[in-house]
Structure 1
């Protein structure tokens, strides 16, 4: 069973920003889907069953893209 993690992301303003975030996240193993919206300032990451991707892994990837992410309950 897959799980979804949600984050708020600050600093994004356009499609290029979304692409930068998506590109960094695609380097992590175990992610099956990424939905990112600069307009809404949010990010949703769906993990494959058994994947061991932590919130911190995702936050670090977003940071590498130049933005700030925070987990949303």
Structure 2
């Protein structure tokens, strides 16, 4: 299973985390989404993960994305 991790800007509470989880979970191939509000990190596990679609899903939830962190 592949993994991608992102630093997310504008995230400050569990509501933010839930919004991100909901949007990212809808991307094809995503199996699990971990959100660390304090660390401003989103980790996505799955197969065939598409970086552009994951970034778009985070943006759709209303948050900014910094370049992926090496996993």
Q: Is TM (by shorter chain) over 0.5?
A: yes
Q: In angstroms, what is the RMSD of aligned CA positions?
A: 1.0
Contact map agreement 2:25 2:32 (CA 8 A) in 1? no
CA distance in 1 between counterparts of 2:19 and 2:58 reads 8
Alignment correspondent of 1:19: 18
**Gapped regions of structure 2 (runs ≥ 5):** none
The alpha-carbon deviation at position 37 of structure 1 amounts to 1.3
Other-structure match for 2:50: 54
CA distance in 2, matches of 1:10, 1:36: 12
User: For residue 64 of structure 2, what is the aligned residue in structure 1?
Assistant: 68
**Structure of larger gyration radius:** 1
Is 1:39 the counterpart of 2:34? The answer is: no
Structure 1: gaps (5+ residues): none
Using the TM superposition, give the Cα deviation of residue 38 of structure 1 relative to its aligned residue in structure 2, in angstroms.
1.3
**1:44 CA drift (Å):** 0.4
In the superposition, the TM-score normalised over structure 1's length comes to 0.87
